[in-house]
Structures are given as C-alpha cells and as structure tokens.
Amino acid sequence: MTRIVSTHSYRGGTGKSTITANLAYLLASEGARVGVVDTDILSPGIHVLFGMEPGSAHYTLNDYLWGRCTIDQAAVDVTAGAFPDGAPKGGSIHLLPSSMQTGEIARVLKEGFEVDLLNEGFHTLSQRLSLDYLLIDTHPGVNEETLLSIAISDTLLLVLRPDHQDYQGTAVTLELARRLDVPQLLLLVNKVLPAFDRRELSDRVSTVFRTPVAAVLPLNEDLVRLGSSGLLAALTPKNDYVSALRPVAQLVQA
Ligand SMILES: Nc1ncnc2c1ncn2[C@@H]1O[C@H](COP(=O)(O)OP(=O)(O)OP(=O)(O)O)[C@@H](O)[C@H]1O
Ligand SMILES: [Mg+2]
C-alpha cells in the first residue's frame, strides 16, 4: 500500500516545497520508493529543488490532465540527481512536475480540469511505480485540487510560520481536514528564529490547535543561501533544519 502524504499551508511561502522535497530524500535514503507530485499547477516550483530545468520534462501533470499521456509517462526518475554517489538499496524518487509554460498555466485558469482525474492518476501512479509513499506538494490556500489531495491523504502535514496570519489560516484548514477525516494530522512550524524556545513553541501550538506538532524547523541560513537550488538533506545531513525534519520521516511511516 502507498501512503499518501500531503503538505499544505493556508498561506504561501511557508516552506511546503522545501519540506516535501527534503522529506522525499530522507524517506528514499531509508530505501523507500517515493513519488512526488507537484499539484501547485498555478505556480509550480518543487522541480527546482530536484535540479530540473523548466521545459526539460518530456511530459508534465498538465499533459496527463489534458489526455496527452499516461500518468506514469509524466513521472521523471530524479534519483540519480538526488543521490550522485548512488542511491541506497531500493530507494528512489519519482517526480511528477507541473508545466512551467505560461499557455499551460493559463489553460488551467481558463478551463479548469477534471479533478477526479487527479485522484485516478495518483492511484495509477502509485501502483505502476510500486510506490511506498506519494508526497503531494500543494498550492497554498483552499481550492478544489487541494481539497482532493487532503481528502485522499493518509497524512496531512500542515505548515505554519510563527505568524498571526498563519495562525488564523491554519485554524481554517485544520477544521476542513477534520471534516474530511484525514487519519493523521500533523503540524510543522517552520522558519522559527533559532533563539526561540522550540519546545515551548511546540507545546503552545499543539495546545492551541489540539493537534500534534511533528517538528519545529528553524529559520536556516543555509536554506536561504541555497535558494531552492538543491536538497539540504543531501548536502548537509547534519544541518539543524535537517535534524529537526528527520523525525517527520519516521512519523509518516505506517
Ligand atoms: N526553515 C527555513 N529557513 C530559511 N528559509 C527557508 C526555510 N524554509 C523554506 N525557506 C525558503 O523560503 C522560500 C519558500 O520556500 P518554499 O518554496 O518551500 O515555500 P512554499 O510554501 O512551497 O511556497 P509556495 O506557497 O509559493 O508554494 C524558499 O526560498 C526556501 O528556500
Ligand atoms: Mg511550493
């Protein structure tokens, strides 16, 4: 069985794509077969963390949604780039990018797409690639494909910053996720000043939202420096941010 893990936040720029990409790496490091889907069709980006140039993908999620290819034809094996010295036994990462072409993005805005096709595609992809995990990187806020991703998830990772706008939005999304009966709901607090008491913040956030906090991730200079140009977990495995994220890879396991 494939475990479906969605990463979401009410507001943008909270660190979803960075978390999803590094989590994919950590899970694959332990020998898992991991799929990563970019459902942020309106502003795709996670491919950048895997070193993919725009336009280099033969097919994208958009092609699948418009019936131009099968879902597995749009998946790109990015394992070699993530593990230049060789992947651990059994471990692999398969990325399903969204199109960066303006015309394709405009078409989604203008025509929308059949959301059911996404659901069908996720299941087909999971089966054809024998995935242990399917990680779904989402568009911020609440829209139809986000609701679908949340509804079909075994785990929802809800990312927030220590920011009052994020707090309010998180309450909204949590309520939605509860109504959709997501089996595992976890909060991740990101971009926390290293001077903050992380234990205290974690206790406070979990009490206020009545939801477990899986990680409190520090605001990290190396990530700023990297500017999404790679996977921090691969480059500096002992980095603070990576150490704080590592337990999440354990928590999402069945
Ligand atoms: N803990 C952190 N410390 C410092 N910078 C971070 C941290 N987490 C993420 N970033 C940076 O913040 C920016 C936004 O991160 P990312 O793209 O992962 O957010 P996102 O939630 O996916 O954004 P969007 O909502 O636009 O999809 C990136 O430049 C990333 O490198
Ligand atoms: Mg993103």
Instruction: Please say whether the beta carbons of 94 and 75 come within 8 A.
Output: yes
Across the range 94-110, mean pLDDT stands at 93
pLDDT at 237: 96
Tokens of 202: 């974690």
DSSP per residue, 81-136:
HH-TT-PPTT-EEEEEPPP--HHHHHHHHHH---HHHHHHHHHHHHHHTT-SEEEE
CA-closest residue to ligand 1 atom 16: 15
- Could you give the 3-state DSSP secondary structure of residue 216? strand
In whole angstroms, give the CA distance from residue 133 to residue 131.
Answer: 5
In whole angstroms, give the CA distance from residue 241 to residue 237.
Answer: 9
Bridge partner list, 215: 188
The pLDDT tens digits of the residues spanning 199-250 come to 999 999 999 999 999 999 999 999 999 999 999 999 999 999 999 999 999 9
Residue 95 has pLDDT above 70, yes or no: yes
Across the range 181-188, mean pLDDT stands at 97
Check pocket membership of 161 for ligand 1, CB cut-off 6 A: no
pLDDT at 159: 98
Between the CA of 223 and the centroid of ligand 1 the distance, in Å, is: 8
The pLDDT tens digits of the residues spanning 138-184 come to 999 988 888 999 999 999 999 999 999 999 999 999 999 999 999 99
Check pocket membership of 158 for ligand 1, CB cut-off 6 A: no
Tokens of 136: 């779904």
The pLDDT tens digits of the residues spanning 51-64 come to 998 788 999 999 99
Task: Calculate Rg over the CA atoms of the chain.
Answer: 17
Check pocket membership of 121 for ligand 1, CB cut-off 6 A: no
Between the CA of 121 and the centroid of ligand 2 the distance, in Å, is: 21
Across the range 69-95, mean pLDDT stands at 97
Total-model pTM: 0.97
The pLDDT tens digits of the residues spanning 38-52 come to 999 999 999 999 999
pLDDT at 55: 81
In whole angstroms, give the CA distance from residue 237 to residue 93.
Answer: 18
Between the CA of 210 and the centroid of ligand 1 the distance, in Å, is: 25
How far is CA 146 from each of CA 39, 69, 154, 156, rounded to the nearest angstrom? 8, 23, 14, 11
In the chain, the amino acid numbered 35 is G
Residue 71 has pLDDT above 70, yes or no: yes
Cα–Cα–Cα angle for 145, 71, 85, nearest 5°?
105
In whole angstroms, give the CA distance from residue 224 to residue 62.
Answer: 30
Instruction: Write down all domains in the chain, each with its CATH number in brackets.
Output: 3-249 (3.40.50.300)
pLDDT at 112: 87
pLDDT band at 254 (very low <50, low <70, confident <90, very high): low
Determine the residue of 6, 9, 10, 18 to mutate for testing ligand 1's pocket, defined as the one with the most ligand atoms within 8 A of the Cβ atom: 18
Question: Mean pLDDT for the chain?
Answer: 95
Between the CA of 127 and the centroid of ligand 1 the distance, in Å, is: 31
In whole angstroms, give the CA distance from residue 189 to residue 215.
Answer: 6
Backbone angles phi, psi at 72, to 5 degrees: -75, -20
In whole angstroms, give the CA distance from residue 52 to residue 12.
Answer: 22
pLDDT band at 115 (very low <50, low <70, confident <90, very high): confident
